[in-house]
Each structure stands twice: as structure tokens, then as C-alpha cells.
Amino acid sequence: AAREFIEAQPASTRIGLVSFAGSAALVQPPTFSKDDLLAAIDRFTFQRGTAVGSGILISLQTIFPDLDIDMRTVDPLTGLRDSRQGMPLGSEARDAKPAPPPPSEPGSFKSAAIILLTDGQTTTGPDPLAAARLAADRGVRVFTVGVGTDKGEILVGEGWSVRVRLDEDSLRNIAKITGGEYYYAGTAGELKKVYQELGSRLTLERRETEVSAIFAGLGAVLMLVAAGLSLLWFHRVV
């Protein structure tokens, strides 16, 4: 399904890939090359953890390279660590940063969007709702796609296992905060339909405004969950 989504996008649309498990990373910078994107998907590996907030933040920093994120606004533990460790005298003045730009209207930035595929159950990293509010302040929409079930599934790796469970409330809230939309994909077939709908929607918007980049946030663990479902129903990886 993810492959078909990429292949269906116009040649003039740039797509970037961000993977997130225990942490998040830009695995493929925005590119017009569909071959590079498909190769990046093939490199995804099975990892523990789901850092949804980190995935959103990395996507935002890729869309806005000059964006300076104050981690204390999205990770309450950062402020706690600072208060315990103390700060050198005068460091506040030296580290003073210009005030951020005024917030944009949620959903008003039409040049890029974030597509977030995950079970929505954050296990590590920054607060995803705080990250979503940062995206909303920049006008970037986050379209969330939930996979799995609320009962959860056990994923087994090399010497470890982890339960993943769909958290629809979190995904709905992320989409609502940013002016995006939530989609549920309980099967590989439904996931394919979701990608088709998203592709058609973003292509239509592109005719009205210049959509220069679409960022697909693919959780490495959850991507493999979807791949397993696809193998079960279609005998192939999404």
C-alpha cells in the first residue's frame, strides 16, 4: 500500500520518509525519485518502541530546516532534568533565542503535509500532542492512519517481544489539533484504500496550491505490522 501510494504521486511531488521506533530519523530526504523512496522502505528494520512525537518533530524540522524546537515545550522531562542539574550562571542570556513567529492558522500551510502511519501508542519520546500543537502553529496538517486493533498484538523480535495496541484517541486528537484527518486501516485492503484516498485528496489540493513536499511518517515497527497483515492477505509486503 505504501509503495502504491508513492508510485501514484505526480512526478512533481517530493516525498520524504521519517521512521520512528525508539527514536526518529529522516531515512530519505524529500526527493522526486520514487526508486530512492522504495529502496528506503526496504531498509526499514524491526525495532522496539514507538516515538510518535519524535516522528512528528523530525518531519517538522525537515519541512522547516530553520525551525528551532524548544524541547521543554514537548518533553516535560527536559525541564525536570534542567532544574535538577542546574544551569551555568549567565547561560540564559547567552542562550537567549529570538521569539518564535506568531502561530499560523491550523491547516493553513498547503506546501507540505505529514502522513503518520502508526498504532498511536506512544512508548517513548516527546508528548505527541505537544508535537502536534507545534505542527498546528506552523499550519502543517498531520493525517493520521491507525493500524492494528485496540486489543493489541504481540510482536516478536530477536530475543524480545512487545505488545502493540491501537490508540485511536491519540491519533484522532493529533489530526484534530492540526486540521488533518484520522483514518483507520484494520486490514491491508483498508490501508490500500486509505492511501488511495489520501493520494487523491493531496493531488486535488496540489491543483489548487503548490504542494511541494509530502512527508510520510512511517513507524518502523508498525510498518512491519502492516507488512505482516499484507503477507497474510496478499502474500506480499506492502
Predicted TM-score of the model (pTM): 0.76
Asked whether the predicted pLDDT for residue 171 surpasses 80, the reply is yes
Write the single-letter amino acid at 159. G
Better-scored residue on pLDDT, 197 or 44: 197
How high does pLDDT run on average in the chain? 72
Mean pLDDT of 86-92: 45
CA distance 112 to 129: 19
Query: Quick one: pLDDT at residue 85?
Result: 44
Task: Give residue 180's pLDDT band: very low, low, confident or very high (50, 70, 90).
Answer: very high
CB atoms within 10 A of CB 77: 11
Angstrom distances, CA of residue 67 to CA of 64, 88, 99, 135, 143: 5, 25, 12, 11, 21
Mean pLDDT of 177-187: 90
> For the chain, how far is it from start to end, CA to CA, in angstroms?
5
Asked whether the predicted pLDDT for residue 204 surpasses 50, the reply is yes
Domains belonging to the chain, first-starting first, are 2-73+103-234 (3.40.50.410)
3-state secondary structure (DSSP) of residue 143: strand
Strands, E assignment, 7-73: 14-20, 24-31
Mean pLDDT of 142-154: 75
Lowest mean pLDDT across 63-67, 165-169, 188-192, 233-237: 233-237
Lowest mean pLDDT across 28-32, 88-92, 125-129, 174-178: 88-92
Asked whether the predicted pLDDT for residue 78 surpasses 60, the reply is no
